[in-house]
Amino acid sequence: MVPGIHRPAVVRVNLSAIKQNIENEVNHLDPDQKLFAVVKANAYGHGAIQVAKVAEEAGASGFCVAILDEALELRENGVVKPILVLGVVSPEYAPVAAANGISLTVPNLEWLHMAQEALERENLQLKIHLGIDSGMGRIGFSEDDEFIEANKFLENNPNFFVEGMFAHFASADSSDDTYFKHQVEKFKHMKSLLTVKPKWIHVDNTAASIFDKDVHSDLVRFGIGIYGLNPSSNPSSPDLKSNVELKPALSFVSELTHVKTIHKGDGVGYGSTYVADDDVIIGTVPVGYADGWIRKFQGFKVKVGDVYCPIVGRVCMDQFMVLMPKEMPVGTRVTLISDNPDDPNNIKAAADYVDTIHYEVACLLSDRLPRVYYYDE
């Protein structure tokens, strides 16, 4: 999708905040622990290359992505540090990963056999992390026999270098630790079956680290914290308190492109879900669901100039309308998402409003929105 550089609608990304968040986390870690910056999904919508460069400056030792293409994008842009693909890559691409020094996750024994065939043909060695399903129910080994067999298969196997072993938590952001502890026990058990010696054994995501869940992890896969967001995102429970200072990096701004007065009985938007009961002032903002600003935002208050105004009528594909208490000119700034956590249109409040989590709101912001990078003065 072409970025709209001739339209006043941009995602602003504060690289000083990103740098500071990573530095704060690095300082929070034990000296022997490493930070891998999770920059999957275009760095949660913030821009993978820009975030990766800043993360390196801030002390990240490596990167995690979700798919092989994201890893290749980093390599093509000069990133030389370790990169781990967290998802399952088809074993036929094991040689591509190996040739680019990219580490892949092993989801099961069958995958290892298939990857080996491909690697043998090209006489390559692949760096791998053994995925463990300790209770996420997603990918990785969970049966003893299969894991023991995989270990045997890997001993003195020239096509693989066992760089890591890891699992992922399902509920590290919850104040109820029952399932978390169950996952820790399962992982410890799988670890006791190891006969190969991975360099890095890791389980921590942002939540496990900043809430000090105290499971030792050779590296922390730091994702949402990079972007200054507290992962504790269940709207019905209060946030767990982060032991690392986090500053949100993302804001989403636009401008009024049209302002008018409508009269009693006039409708706004598809289906006329809003009908004026008097003379009212309506402003139009050139952002819609094609930008990731979904229809559920109808009714949410965005900041127009210095006042919070509700979105009236349905959000269209490319535009939405707001009800304004006073006349304001075309060109007036509209803040859809504020990077100030105290503002009512902060990203968590926006996510709560549309019944989701801030991860999703950030990831949905589409490529049509240019990302504008800046540093604090």
Q: Which residues bind ligand PLP (CB under 6 A)?
A: 38, 40, 86, 168, 205-207, 221-224, 231
Residue 333 marked in a binding site: no
CB of 73 to ligand PLP, least distance (A): 17
Tell me whether residue 19 or residue 40 sits nearer to ligand PLP (CB atom): 40
CB of 305 within 8 A of CB of 328?
yes
Helices (H), the chain: 15-28, 40-44, 48-58, 68-76, 94-99, 109-122, 144-154, 178-192, 206-210, 347-353, 358-364
∠ CA 325-330-331, rounded to 5°: 110
CB atoms within 10 A of CB 177: 13
- From 211, 204, 203, 209, select the one nearest 174 (Cα to Cα): 211
**Where in the sequence numbering do the catalytic residues fall?**
40, 270
Distance between CA 376 and CA 317 in Å, rounded? Answer: 33
Query: By Cβ distance, which residue is nearest to ligand PLP?
Result: 223
Bridge partners of 284? 258, 321
Collapse the DSSP code of 266 into the 3-class scheme (helix H, G, I; strand E, B; otherwise coil) and give the result: coil
Tell me whether residue 182 or residue 295 sits nearer to ligand PLP (CB atom): 182
Tell me whether residue 168 or residue 314 sits nearer to ligand PLP (CB atom): 168
Bridge partners of 348? none
CB of 62 to ligand PLP, least distance (A): 13
CB of 321 within 8 A of CB of 262?
no
Residue with tokens 């007065």: 261
Tell me whether residue 65 or residue 315 sits nearer to ligand PLP (CB atom): 65
Tell me whether residue 45 or residue 223 sits nearer to ligand PLP (CB atom): 223
Residue 317 marked in a binding site: yes
CB of 224 to ligand PLP, least distance (A): 4
CB of 145 to ligand PLP, least distance (A): 24
Question: HSE of 178 in the Cβ direction (CA atoms, 13 Å)?
Answer: 1
CB of 223 to ligand PLP, least distance (A): 2
Q: Would you list which residues are annotated within the binding site?
A: 138, 317
Q: Would you list which residues are annotated within the binding site for substrate?
A: 138, 317
